[in-house]
């Protein structure tokens, strides 16, 4: 154990079990104690500054300690902090629901509140199943998901996920999911180029639908970017054809926009780029700008109507969370959406995203171990490879991304790698000068690692 740890670091390791971590790693790299944040920066207990290039797990949209959001939260806290949401409501929840219905694709008229992304996925899965049951389709008890999918870490969400790092140990507990090969544009088996692709890989999904559609309740997908899989990006045409297949085979489409919603892909929601409206849309993360946990599931009148009946029929959707529709989170989410309007944020994303793409391509694509730089909206990813010609990845045991992450931390840059993939998902308030610094420090960390390797 490192002897120079601060008192808070030692006390943390006495009791705190951190998420998504092998705690033994903390012997060499103890948890960094953050005492404050402002804008894109985090400050540790020694006042060292870090650029938060990953928006603190993709949630922060408008910078840490944002004055508008903080004020909205404080004002609401002095008015109403919480109230039971069964048979009660409040203005922030009503206003937020109306706003979300206005912003999301056409036909999503009903809003169900939950607490986090995984919970939203559970809600959508359960709603889809119960809908079919109540429409006299009792055989529709299974779900179809893609390889390398990630939808959260509760058991239902894990069941439709496909990343072994999270799933493998729990496999005996999981639902029997139908799995279809997902798009892999970097290593395309059809040798297509994403900018001109007719998405022949959708055939993998259609094969599974032909075989299993009578028992399938829904398909679940991360629109445009499979995030935890390594920011795997694919063209909107895939979504468009997927929606058509769902309609053909009477299967719901669940769009998991937890990570990609609220401007991350360049449009407010990723589904917009394909011109589709799913049967269920799951939202969280950026919804509250990184302030508080909340998620929502939007669905159609058709789904809602299947649950609307006399009490004695027991058709109600009996799913709840203690903090469902919390007024504080609703008020914060409303302010986040107001910032989008007032500050023309989508225009900023377009301009800053184009700048980031051009600079990153110029910086990274000539590197001998960078297989690809890819970007959608303001989500950029650097895929590191052992062999650029064959696209052979580095062995996972080498932990290449993790080693570069540690070097970047020394340089005051927070990058949270996904295996061999380094990525950028910064808050939208980042400036062009700060984009320069973020990319420069990343380049320095990559080059330093391979120079010492």
Against a cut of 0.75, is the pTM above it?
A: yes
Same domain? For 59 and 83 the reply is: no
pLDDT of 1 reads 47
**The total number of residues written for the chain in this structure:** 453
Rounded Cα distance between 205 and 414, Å, is 37
214 & 261 share domain? yes
Same domain assignment for residues 309 and 354? no
Please list, in sequence order, all residues whose beta carbon lies within 8 angstroms of the beta carbon of residue 389, skipping any fewer than 6 positions away: none
Based on the domain organization, do 355 and 330 belong to the same domain?
Answer: no
As for how many domains the chain has, the answer is 2
- 96 CB-near residues (< 8 Å, 6+ apart): 111, 330, 333, 334, 337
Helix (H, G, I), strand (E, B) or coil at 29: coil
Q: Are 369 and 228 within one domain?
A: no
Instruction: Using alpha carbons, select from 221, 211, 144, 152 the residue that is nearest to residue 175.
Output: 144
- Residue 434: inside a domain, yes or no? yes
Task: Provide the token pair at 392.
Answer: 């052979």
From the number of C-beta atoms within 10 Å of its C-beta (0-12, 13-18, 19+), residue 139 rates as exposed
Distance CA 92, CA 152 (A): 27
Kindly list the distances between the CA atom of residue 247 and the CA atoms of 139, 148, 160, 209, 276, in Å, as whole numbers in the listed order.
Answer: 18, 24, 20, 11, 12
Distance CA 290, CA 57 (A): 9
3-state helix, strand, coil in the chain (%, to 5): 45, 20, 40
Alpha helices, H only, 365-413: 400-410
- CA distances to 79, 200, 203, 249, 251 from 207, rounded to whole Å, are 54, 12, 6, 12, 14
Kindly give the pairing relationship between strand 108-114 and strand 295-300: antiparallel
**pLDDT for the residue numbered 196:** 82
Residues 136 and 258 in one domain: yes
Rg (CA), the chain: 22
CATH number at residue 349: 3.90.1150.10
131 domain residue, yes or no: yes
Q: Give the pLDDT of residue 160.
A: 98
Specify whether the backbone of 412 is left (phi greater than 0), alpha (psi in -120 to 50) or beta.
left
Tell me how far apart the alpha carbons of residues 283 and 211 are, in angstroms, rounded to a whole number. Answer: 30
Q: Which of 143, 92, 129, 138 is nearest to 113 (CA)?
A: 92
pLDDT digits (tens), the chain, 453 positions? 456 899 999 999 999 999 999 999 999 999 999 999 999 999 999 999 999 999 999 999 999 999 999 999 999 999 999 999 999 999 999 999 999 999 999 999 999 999 999 999 999 999 999 999 999 999 999 999 999 999 999 999 999 999 999 999 999 999 999 999 999 999 999 999 877 899 999 999 999 999 999 999 999 999 999 999 999 999 999 999 999 999 999 999 999 999 999 999 999 999 999 999 999 999 999 999 999 999 999 999 999 999 999 999 999 999 999 999 999 999 999 999 999 999 999 999 999 999 999 999 999 989 999 999 999 999 999 999 999 999 999 999 999 999 999 999 999 999 999 999 999 999 999 999 999 999 999 999 999 999 987
Please give the structure tokens belonging to residue 211: 């075989």
Q: What is the dihedral angle through the alpha carbons of 59, 62, 64, 70, rounded to the nearest 10 degrees?
A: -100
Reduced to 3 states (helix: H, G, I; strand: E, B; else coil), residue 448 is: helix
pLDDT of residue 419: 95
Please check whether residues 202 and 264 belong to one and the same domain. yes
State which residues form the domain around 311.
71-342
CA distance 187 to 184: 6
Question: Do 238 and 105 share a structural domain?
Answer: yes
Looking at the fold, whether 424 and 317 belong to one and the same domain comes out as no
Distance separating alpha carbons of residues 347 and 349, to the nearest angstrom: 5
């Amino acid at each position: 154990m490192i002897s120079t740890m601060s008192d808070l670091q030692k006390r943390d390791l006495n009791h705190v079990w951190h998420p998504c971590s092998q705690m033994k790693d903390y012997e060499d790299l103890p948890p960094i104690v953050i005492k404050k944040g402002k804008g894109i920066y985090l400050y540790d207990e020694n006042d060292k500054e870090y650029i938060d290039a990953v928006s603190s797990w993709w949630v922060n949209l408008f910078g840490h300690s944002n004055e508008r959001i903080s004020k909205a939260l404080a004002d609401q806290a002095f008015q109403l902090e919480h109230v039971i949401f069964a048979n009660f409501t409040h203005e922030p929840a009503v206003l937020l629901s109306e706003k979300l219905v206005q912003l999301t694709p056409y036909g999503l008229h009903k809003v169900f509140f939950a607490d986090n992304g995984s919970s939203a996925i559970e809600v959508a899965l359960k709603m889809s199943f119960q809908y079919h049951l109540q429409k006299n389709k009792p055989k529709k008890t299974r779900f179809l998901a893609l390889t390398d999918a990630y939808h959260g870490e509760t058991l239902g969400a894990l069941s439709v996920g496909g990343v072994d790092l999270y799933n493998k140990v729990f496999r005996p507990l999981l639902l029997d999911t139908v799995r279809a090969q997902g798009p892999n544009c970097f290593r395309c088996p059809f040798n297509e180029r994403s900018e001109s692709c007719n998405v022949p890989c959708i055939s993998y999904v259609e094969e599974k639908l032909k075989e299993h559609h009578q028992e399938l309740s829904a398909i679940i997908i991360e629109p445009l970017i499979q995030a935890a899989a390594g920011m795997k990006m694919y063209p909107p045409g895939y979504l468009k054809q997927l929606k058509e297949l769902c309609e053909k085979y009477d299967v719901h489409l669940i769009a998991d926009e937890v990570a990609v919603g609220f401007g991350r892909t360049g449009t407010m929601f990723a589904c917009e780029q394909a011109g589709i409206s799913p049967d269920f849309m799951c939202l969280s993360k950026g919804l509250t700008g990184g302030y508080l946990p909340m998620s929502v599931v939007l669905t159609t009148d058709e789904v809602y109507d299947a649950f609307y009946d006399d009490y004695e029929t027991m058709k109600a959707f009996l799913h709840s969370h203690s903090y469902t529709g919390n007024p504080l989170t609703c008020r914060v989410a409303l302010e986040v959406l107001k910032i989008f309007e007032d500050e023309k944020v989508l225009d900023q994303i377009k301009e800053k995203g184009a700048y980031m793409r051009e600079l990153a391509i110029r910086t990274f694509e000539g590197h001998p171990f960078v297989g690809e730089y890819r970007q959608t909206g303001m989500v950029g990813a650097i895929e590191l490879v052992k062999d650029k010609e064959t696209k052979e990845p580095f062995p996972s045991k080498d932990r290449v991304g993790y080693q570069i992450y540690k070097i970047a931390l020394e340089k005051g840059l927070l990058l949270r790698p996904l295996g061999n993939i380094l990525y950028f998902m910064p808050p939208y308030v980042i400036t062009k000068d700060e984009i320069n610094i973020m990319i420069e420090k990343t380049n320095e960390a990559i080059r330093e690692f391979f120079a010492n390797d």
